Copies of this chain bind each other. A is one copy, B any other.
Amino acid sequence: MFPFENVIVLDKTSRQPVYRQIAHCLIQAIRSGTLKAGAHLPGSRELAQSLGVHRKTVLAAYEELDRQDWITIIPRKYTAVSDRIPLLKPRPWNQAARPPGYARDLALPFSTIAGNPAVADSVPGILIDDGHPDVRLSPIDHLLKTYRALTARKHRVKNAATGTAQGIQPLRDILAAYLSETRGLSLTADNLLITHGAQMSIYLAANLLLHPSSVMITGRPGYPAARQTFEATGAKVIEVPVDDNGIDTDAIEAVCKKKKVTAVYVIPHHHYPTTVTLSVERRMKLLELSGKYSFAIIEDDYDYDYHYTAAPYLPLASAAHDGQVIYTGSFSKMLDPSLRIGFMVAPANFIRQCTALRQLIDVGGDGYMQYALSILIREGELKRHLKKAKKCYHQRLNFLDTLLKARLGAYLDYTLPGGGMAIWIKLKPGYPVDRLLECPQLRLLGADRGQQAFRFGFAAMNEQELEQAVDLLHSILRTIKAPHKKGAARDRH
């Protein structure tokens, strides 16, 4: 007699019904070849007794196996494994001891993505981000109220799932008007694609423009996620220097003279990570080069809205360009990093192809959220929020500036940015950024080992939180022996 009690292992604590557990164990035994085609199963009464369950439970299990064609029930005669099951050699015992499927690694070849570890869940102690907005100021509750109201309107719900790949028309219409008004862009709703944030715009543009023989130019230091996205297409990425006036356009021209450049990625407003603004001369030079050498410009304008000392420079995309500027922005930076909505502005033929690729990636966006956002913009709520947030962030920037000067002047240098949500802070020689990264109470999202620097995102912290963060930095940095002290200490040996 087949040792059914060994094959059928019941877990009384499981939330799975017992009859399904029995069926499942028998299926596994058939699949593994332990129970072969034609093998008889014990009578329901007998099996029930040996398992210590009610007979009806066994009958229910057999019924399910029958419906799924695993077994054949000949009433009042026998129950057997279906004849149609192909013959399999049972696994030898040593193999059976191997861990089940998902406990192993996938042993087939697949591509790997270079150095881009996912961020862990929990944030112990203090998080210094690289420039996030303060969700507590955000009209997110207002947005969600509108969202709920929309889902309750029965006559609307049918439409919420369609048209979201490019972005629903009402959102593209109001956003076209908003971008024209606030940034001087000349566009229609056909020039707009609603994405899951600025990163998706970069991904889509990169994957349509680049291939393994392409050359892509970015700034150094630069935004790592963009660089990785360009590299993942197989394209050659050439970095040109970024100085106090932004990306070096002479260096771009020098590359163009030697190679066919497909595209240049720039963050003219506040370069990531250094926060510098691209100068007017270089802006014009870049547009000129784009026409002369026929390359696309991917303009990442992630925090256009936060400018404190002057009105923001208009984007490159607002100029009389030849339609070669692919402009990207994000509501994640305006409202909430969790709200995954961004946009791309480009010529309509390119937008159509980006939409087609985006459909392959994830079909589309959340139609209700897109509706709710369009209402938020139409009602002027977005503008009111940005005005309020800008004032608040400006105060926080000044507060942090005062704090840093008073407490940490001995350890670091920085140039106060004219806008944005982060200060680019360079540690003085002898104070390695690794020491900050090693501290278990601190997490820095925008640290750069090569530059011995980090981005201090100040926008999401109130004054008390800024003080705590600076206190923590101070407590780490003051324990580091500065270079001359170290030298002095060495002399004494």
A112 to B353, CA, bound (A): 6
> Do A100 and B197 touch across chains, with their CB atoms under 8 A apart?
no
A203 to B207, CA, bound (A): 13
Flag the segment in A139-147, A423-431, A434-442 that touches B.
A139-147
Q: Tell me, yes or no, whether A55 is within 8 Å of chain B by CB.
A: no
Q: A119-B163, A162-B123 are in contact. Are A82 and B211 (CB under 8 A)?
A: no
> Do B349 and A367 touch across chains, with their CB atoms under 8 A apart?
no
Contact string against B for A residues 44-87, beta-carbon threshold 8 Å, 1 for contact and 0 otherwise: 00000000000000000000100111100000000000101110
Q: A85-B281, A158-B127 are in contact. Are A362 and B163 (CB under 8 A)?
A: no
Say how far A275's CB is from chain B's closest CB, in angstroms.
17
Q: Tell me, yes or no, whether A181 is within 8 Å of chain B by CB.
A: yes
Flag the segment in A336-344, A389-397, A409-417 that touches B.
A336-344
Q: Tell me, yes or no, whether A405 is within 8 Å of chain B by CB.
A: no
B residues near A168, Cβ cutoff 8 Å: 121
A70 to B318, CA, bound (A): 15
A147 to B460, CA, bound (A): 20
Q: Tell me, yes or no, whether A20 is within 8 Å of chain B by CB.
A: yes
Among B110, B144, B152, point to the contact of A151 (Cβ < 8 A): B144
Question: A interface vs B, CB < 8 Å?
Answer: 14-16, 20, 23-24, 27-28, 31-32, 64, 67-70, 82, 84-86, 88, 91, 100-108, 110-113, 116-123, 127, 129, 132, 135-136, 140-141, 144-145, 147-148, 151-152, 154, 157-166, 168-169, 177, 180-182, 184-188, 191, 195-197, 199-200, 203, 207-209, 211, 225, 228-229, 232, 262, 279-281, 284-285, 287-288, 294-296, 309-311, 313-314, 317-325, 336-340, 345-350, 352-353, 355-357, 359-369, 460
**20 A-B pairs in the complex with CB atoms less than 8 angstroms apart:** A15-B177, A16-B181, A24-B184, A28-B319, A68-B311, A102-B188, A102-B323, A103-B188, A105-B347, A106-B346, A107-B322, A111-B207, A116-B359, A135-B160, A136-B157, A158-B460, A203-B362, A225-B359, A228-B360, A340-B364
Beyond the given A120-B162, A121-B159, please list 11 additional residue pairs across the A-B interface where CB-CB is below 8 A. Answer: A86-B281, A106-B323, A107-B324, A111-B207, A113-B356, A113-B360, A119-B165, A141-B152, A197-B363, A232-B357, A338-B367
